[in-house]
């Protein structure tokens, strides 16, 4: 493989964006799980703000070093980046204090002290601009333009996202790659009895799980409307929701949902747990009848990947990325169509069973092992391509 490579992964700055946090954590796990002869030349580090140090806890033993930076540290590194980009007289080796070879994800200039890769999780703002302020739209477009102009490699999580990006930034199409991420399975998850977690949260024996932030594009509203339709049919399924309760782009959205639930008298059927420990979320996923993913937009759904890794059935909107993921034992409904979702839920009540299924979980674990290895190898392929 040649010389040793120092690869640094940047943790997302927003600790409330659980999908982004898991993306980095699972990438580290995927690399660490590869056979040692494939990674012997890799020095892997993780960089994050000191205030977010807790995000490194689950995976710090899998990296060679964790850089927990203060504001002053980041200001110094920012100065190095700007000098590298705009002051060619300064030798690049002086502007790389941590001796990186490759950093991901990052956003630098065309001249930089090390190679780097950009990550585009999705182009949601191009399709749903009404969910963003003008300032947010401009910021996102400026970042994408900078990536298209400067990035040595641009990683997208789905073919749909890559097509979106290349349609708008065709000059960068030959520098785009797709890397499907996969959820990592902790073997200890299967040593627990998920019924105990169900009991801990006082949940009924049959329930559907929704594990999304309460952001507007996640479309919890269509689930509430489907419950109202089913109620008219005298069918009363229970929906359990986990995830962040606030949408920074639409602060009133969660309260609007609560008002809708109250007006339709669905509080007993639409149970909101908010953010719960990851282990608890996984046990509820094992125990539920099916996972519902109604989202209007995803780059690559971590919820669907979680469900797939546990052998759990998925009821998903027919958004193109969901169709591209196409997990086993999946059921699709037309986006935002409450009637269609109600029909799928009604059918699944008679065709699906609740609780952990050892046979399906065993098959899912085998599939997951292959997918995790593919994920780790794909990332290292990308790094070597750039280096």
Over residues 209-234, the pLDDT tens digits come to 999 999 999 999 999 999 999 999 99
Does residue 20 contact residue 12 with C-beta atoms inside 8 Å? yes
Over residues 313-340, the pLDDT tens digits come to 999 999 999 999 999 989 999 999 999 9
pLDDT of res. 246:
85
Q: For residue 153, give Cα distances in angstroms to 111, 174, 289, 351.
A: 14, 9, 41, 45
Over residues 39-81, the pLDDT tens digits come to 999 999 999 999 999 999 999 999 999 999 999 999 999 999 9
φ, ψ for residue 2, nearest 5 deg: 90, -155
CB within 8 Å of 72: residues ≥ 6 apart: none
pLDDT for residue 242 is more than 50: yes
Does residue 280 contact residue 256 with C-beta atoms inside 8 Å? no
Prediction pTM value: 0.90
Over residues 1-15, the pLDDT tens digits come to 457 999 999 999 888
Closest CA to 7 of 381, 385, 380: 380
pLDDT of res. 1:
44
Task: Give 130-164 as a DSSP string.
Answer: GGS-HHHHHHHHHHHHHHHHH-SEEEESSHHHHHH
Q: 47 forms bridges with which residues in the sheet?
A: 10, 67
pLDDT of res. 2:
53
Average pLDDT across the chain, whole number: 95
């Amino acid at each position: 493989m040649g010389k040793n490579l120092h690869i640094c992964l940047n943790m997302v700055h927003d600790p409330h964006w659980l999908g982004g946090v898991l993306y980095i954590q699972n990438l580290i796990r995927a690399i660490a799980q590869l056979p040692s002869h494939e990674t012997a030349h890799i020095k892997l580090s993780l960089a994050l703000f000191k205030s977010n140090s807790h995000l490194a806890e689950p995976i710090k033993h899998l990296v060679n070093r964790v850089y927990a930076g203060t504001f002053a540290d980041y200001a110094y590194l920012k100065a190095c980046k700007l000098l590298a980009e705009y002051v060619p007289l300064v030798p690049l080796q002086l502007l790389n204090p941590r001796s990186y070879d490759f950093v991901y994800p990052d956003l630098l200039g065309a001249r930089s002290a090390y190679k780097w890769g950009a990550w585009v999780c999705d182009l949601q703002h191009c399709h749903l601009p009404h969910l963003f302020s003008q300032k947010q739209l401009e910021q996102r477009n400026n970042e994408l333009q900078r990536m298209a102009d400067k990035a040595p490699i641009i990683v997208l999580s789905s073919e749909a996202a890559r097509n979106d990006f290349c349609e708008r930034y065709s000059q960068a199409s030959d520098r785009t790659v797709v890397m499907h991420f996969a959820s990592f399975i902790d073997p200890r998850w299967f040593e627990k009895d998920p019924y105990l977690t169900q009991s801990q949260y006082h949940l009924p024996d049959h329930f559907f799980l929704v594990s999304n932030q309460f952001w507007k594009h996640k479309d919890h509203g269509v689930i509430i409307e489907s419950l109202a339709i089913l109620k008219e049919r005298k069918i009363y399924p229970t929906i359990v929701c986990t995830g962040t309760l606030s949408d920074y782009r639409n602060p009133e959205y969660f309260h609007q949902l609560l008002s809708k639930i109250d007006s339709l008298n669905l509080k007993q059927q639409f149970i909101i747990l908010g953010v719960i420990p990851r282990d608890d979320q996984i046990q509820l996923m094992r125990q539920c009848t099916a996972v519902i993913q109604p989202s209007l937009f995803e780059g690559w759904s971590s919820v669907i990947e979680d469900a797939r890794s546990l052998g759990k059935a998925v009821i998903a909107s027919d958004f193109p990325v969901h169709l591209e993921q196409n997990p086993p034992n999946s059921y699709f409904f037309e986006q935002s169509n409450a009637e269609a979702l109600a029909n799928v839920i009604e059918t699944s009540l008679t065709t699906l069973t609740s609780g952990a299924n050892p046979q399906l979980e065993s098959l899912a674990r085998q599939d997951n092992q292959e997918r995790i290895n593919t994920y780790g190898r794909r990332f290292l392929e990308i790094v070597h391509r750039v280096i």
